[in-house]
């Protein structure tokens, strides 16, 4: 850092110092500077306690406790010339301890602070004033898991910065401020610089953290969905095998469907489940659109006989714009992710898969003869 001499058009170096060589102490000096000037951390903060130790079952104490303009608790931990290696674990503990603090407890903590400072003020009035004179009854503090962490030190060890970067990806609101004293003749200066996340990239860091959080949530949802479907298919197969052996060689799947061959390649009976329905279908996909439609049309000629044997009305979907075609029966308004619906779904799927397998195997025999004759005639 340099001092600009405008008259002489030159700069003079301001010497960087350490707190220890200047005789400054963590609690008596650095903590007091931040307590009296919390705006030095880049925003408006209301300090509500220092050396706070009001945690159950522990004697640990955090340096400064504050509120930000959104009503979130801010844990401020100060270290002098070096952060040390364990400061992240320390502040995470403090944040977890503060999670349960209620609005009334926060007011009481602040009132105790004001009383200890000898300020004859009411906490409710000061809180109202800080939050733009809003009525105390309308204020909300410490909602959810939005506790914030600010770490202040002369230097941050690599173990600390790498852990902070990792935590930021999980939407932990954590900041590192580097504080550096400077000296020039009899004058002393203090520089407070946010080093993580970089101030100019803070919005980007927040967006990336939100994306990471969304990605993780999505992955966890997918894993949970996979496990639910595996559990459903396990129950379905076990129950089905008590009635018949159609799925005797089928393994439970994480997918929303399982298939059953009925004697010809590219034509199968598929059983599907979703959040909205349970379905049994004859699925036609031999690769070529024209051939699939030809097969569908051949089967459709036997529609009356098929539905008469099944004693069911099927939905016939030629799907002219698609490569595939299907013929289905469907149970609506059931959800595979609601276990209460499983008995009804499993009963429907077992009954109709058995009936459709039996009926369509006979149709497939006719289909194979038809396809063989078509090849011969070419």
Q: Which of 65-79, 221-235, 338-352 has the lowest mean pLDDT?
A: 221-235
Shared domain check, 158 and 54: yes
Shared domain check, 267 and 119: no
> Which residues does 223 contact at the CB level (< 8 Å), separation at least 6?
none
Write the CATH number for 79. Answer: 3.40.1350.10
Is residue 248 a part of any domain in this protein? yes
Whether pLDDT at 202 is above 60: no
Is residue 129 a part of any domain in this protein? yes
For residues 55 and 97, what is the distance between their CA atoms, to the nearest angstrom?
A: 6
Whole domain around residue 96: which residue ranges?
2-196
Is residue 208 a part of any domain in this protein? no
Whether pLDDT at 115 is above 70: yes
For residues 336 and 330, what is the distance between their CA atoms, to the nearest angstrom?
A: 14
Shared domain check, 164 and 34: yes
Model confidence over 146-198: pLDDT tens digits? 899 999 999 999 999 999 988 888 878 999 999 999 998 889 999 999 999 87
The total number of structural domains in the chain stands at 2
Is residue 65 a part of any domain in this protein? yes
Is residue 210 a part of any domain in this protein? no
For residues 31 and 77, what is the distance between their CA atoms, to the nearest angstrom?
A: 9
Please state whether the predicted TM-score (pTM) of the whole model is above 0.85: no
Is residue 214 a part of any domain in this protein? no
> Which residues does 110 contact at the CB level (< 8 Å), separation at least 6?
48, 49, 123, 126, 127
Shared domain check, 37 and 168: yes
Shared domain check, 190 and 153: yes
Model confidence over 299-329: pLDDT tens digits? 999 999 999 999 999 999 999 989 999 999 9
CB 50 within 8 Å of CB 62: no
Shared domain check, 192 and 247: no
Write the CATH number for 323. Answer: 3.30.1460
Shared domain check, 252 and 109: no
Shared domain check, 229 and 190: no
Burial of 212: CB neighbours in 10 Å, binned 0-12, 13-18, 19+: middle
Q: What pLDDT, on a 0 to 100 scale, did the predictor assign at position 270? A: 95
For residues 274 and 108, what is the distance between their CA atoms, to the nearest angstrom?
A: 52
Shared domain check, 163 and 248: no
For residues 274 and 336, what is the distance between their CA atoms, to the nearest angstrom?
A: 6
Shared domain check, 304 and 157: no
Shared domain check, 260 and 151: no
Is residue 215 a part of any domain in this protein? no
Q: What is the mean pLDDT of residues 94-103?
A: 93
Shared domain check, 226 and 296: yes
Q: What pLDDT, on a 0 to 100 scale, did the predictor assign at position 215? A: 60
**pLDDT band of 204, cuts 50, 70, 90:** low
**pLDDT band of 233, cuts 50, 70, 90:** very high
Burial of 59: CB neighbours in 10 Å, binned 0-12, 13-18, 19+: exposed
For residues 282 and 327, what is the distance between their CA atoms, to the nearest angstrom?
A: 5
Q: What is the mean pLDDT of residues 121-128?
A: 93
Closest by CA to 75, choosing from 112, 111, 47, is 47
Is residue 209 a part of any domain in this protein? no
CB 178 within 8 Å of CB 10: no
């Amino acid at each position: 850092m340099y001092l600009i001499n405008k008259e002489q058009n030159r700069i003079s170096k301001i010497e960087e110092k350490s707190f220890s060589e200047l005789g400054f102490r963590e609690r008596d000096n650095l903590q007091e500077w931040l307590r009296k000037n919390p705006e030095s951390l880049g925003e408006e903060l209301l300090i509500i306690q220092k050396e706070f130790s009001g945690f159950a079952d522990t004697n640990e104490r955090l340096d400064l406790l504050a509120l930000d303009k959104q009503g979130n608790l801010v844990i401020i931990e100060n270290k002098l010339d070096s952060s040390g290696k364990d400061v992240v674990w320390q502040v995470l503990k403090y944040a977890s301890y503060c999670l349960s603090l209620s609005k009334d407890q926060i007011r009481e903590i602040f009132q105790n602070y004001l009383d200890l400072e000898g300020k004859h003020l009411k906490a409710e009035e000061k809180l109202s004033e800080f939050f733009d004179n809003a009525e105390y009854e309308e204020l909300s503090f410490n909602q959810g898991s939005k506790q914030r962490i600010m770490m202040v030190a002369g230097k941050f060890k690599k173990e600390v910065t790498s852990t902070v970067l990792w935590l930021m990806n999980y939407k932990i609101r954590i900041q590192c401020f580097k504080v550096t004293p400077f000296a020039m003749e009899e004058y002393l200066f203090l520089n407070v610089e946010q080093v993580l996340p970089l101030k100019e990239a803070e919005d980007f860091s927040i967006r990336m953290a939100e994306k990471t959080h969304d990605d993780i949530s999505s992955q966890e949802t997918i894993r949970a969905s996979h496990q639910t479907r595996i559990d459903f298919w396990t129950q379905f197969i076990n129950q089905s095998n008590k009635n018949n052996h159609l799925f005797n060689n089928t393994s439970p799947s994480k997918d929303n469907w399982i298939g059953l061959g009925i004697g010809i390649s590219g034509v199968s009976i598929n059983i599907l489940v979703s959040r909205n329905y349970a379905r049994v279908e004859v699925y036609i996909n031999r690769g070529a659109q024209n051939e699939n439609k030809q097969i569908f049309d051949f089967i459709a000629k036997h529609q009356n006989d098929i539905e008469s044997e099944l004693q069911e009305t099927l939905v016939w979907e030629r799907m002219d714009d698609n490569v595939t075609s299907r013929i289905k029966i469907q149970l609506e308004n059931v959800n595979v992710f609601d276990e209460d619906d499983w008995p009804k779904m499993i009963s429907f799927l077992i009954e109709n898969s058995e009936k459709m397998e039996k009926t369509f195997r006979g149709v497939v025999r006719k289909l194979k003869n038809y396809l063989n004759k078509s090849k011969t005639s070419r």
